[in-house]
Amino acid sequence: MATDFVVGDDKGWTLDFNYTAWAEGKVFRVGDNLLFNYDKASHNVLKVNGTQFQGCNFTADNDLLSSGKDSITLKAEGRKWYICGKGNHCANHQMKLVINVEAAAPTSAPAPTSSAPSRIASLSGALIVAIAAIFG
């Protein structure tokens, strides 16, 4: 079952928040969702690569999200990088997030059926009837 992760929890996507600490200890899996909540007049979300993440750089080719309530479904395993592309928010105000996405959680097997006990009861009943017929 997919998990929705609200980036930054109640603080959202904002200035001067430690997103590295926020992501620490969380397990992100294929199928999970990242929910970015922010003031759309002040911030945005850009999907970038590792080099762009380190330098807080981006190009027009990067996916830009700017609704203020963006949802990103994690579709593949591996590292994923996100930054704010407004002003110096990434470089000077920690508006950057890197996560590692793991394989989807295995689905649980269906519960075994309980037909075995009922078959035993049926056989026991037939055996009692047969014994009664022989000795009766």
pLDDT digit string (tens) for 12-41? 999 999 999 999 999 999 999 999 999 999
Which pLDDT value is given to residue 106? 80
Which pLDDT value is given to residue 38? 99
Which pLDDT value is given to residue 57? 97
Domains for the chain: give ranges and CATH numbers.
4-106 (2.60.40.420)
Which pLDDT value is given to residue 76? 98
Residues 93-110 as b/e (b if ≥16 CB within 10 A, e otherwise) read bbbbbbbebeeeeeeeee
Q: Please state, in angstroms and rounded to a whole number, the distance separating the CA atoms of residues 45 and 65.
A: 5
Which pLDDT value is given to residue 30? 98
Which pLDDT value is given to residue 105? 83
Look at 58 and 119; give whichever has higher pLDDT.
58
Tokens found for residue 82: 């996100």
**Residue reference for tokens 């295995």:** 106
pLDDT in tens, 53-112: 999 999 999 999 999 999 999 999 999 999 999 999 999 999 999 999 999 988 765 555
Nearest CA to 91 out of 58, 54, 65, 60 is that of 54
Answer yes or no: is pLDDT of 127 > 70: no
